[in-house]
Amino acid sequence: MSAEEAATIPAWAGDLTGIVGQHLIYTYENGWKYELYVRNSHTVAFRCLMGPMFGRWSTAQPAKIVQLSGDMFKLAWVEPTGTVTVVIAWLGERRVHTTICYPQWMLDYPEFTLGRYEDNTPEITAARNRGLTYPQTLVAATGHITFLETRSPDDDTVIDRPPGKLPHDYANRAN
């Protein structure tokens, strides 16, 4: 079975009304900050706000999203870089746990991955296909959700610009 065929197999997702439309900023224990917006039941948008991947962002990343329990959700996606990301979000406890698998080429040449993925997909794909995909670096990190709000699904204004064009202290918002 191909990956494309596996992606079309329906899976039990649970009740996604508690995660769709959620916009969050979270800070990992190492100080890195990320932003995530769940556009709908199969798409997320994200920005790296602080850390070595600063500048990476996407407005339409296909994702697999499932409810694990109550207000706990798992979101998983494969980026055009070949990076695999899995986020477990406990909204009520305002915690996240993320496991990310970075291909070697991306760590060697991160400059190809900076910017909005949708604007650079052909270049990213070409760099990915030239580079080493193995060894891979596995990063597991726990963080705290510092900002959480509910927005409408598919709101193009939530993540609409590069991290470098955000207002000063945007990443430090808290509620």
Active site residue 118: no
Active site residue 4: no
Catalytic residue among 26, 35, 37, 79: 79
Contacts of 85 by beta carbon, 8 Å cutoff, 6+ apart:
76, 77, 78, 79, 98, 99, 100, 101
Written as one letter, the residue type at 20 is: V
Catalytic residue among 26, 34, 102, 117: 34
| CA distances for 119 relative to 78, 95, 108, 115, 163, angstroms | 17, 31, 21, 8, 15
**Cα separation, 127 vs 100, whole angstroms:** 19
Catalytic positions, written as ranges = 34, 79
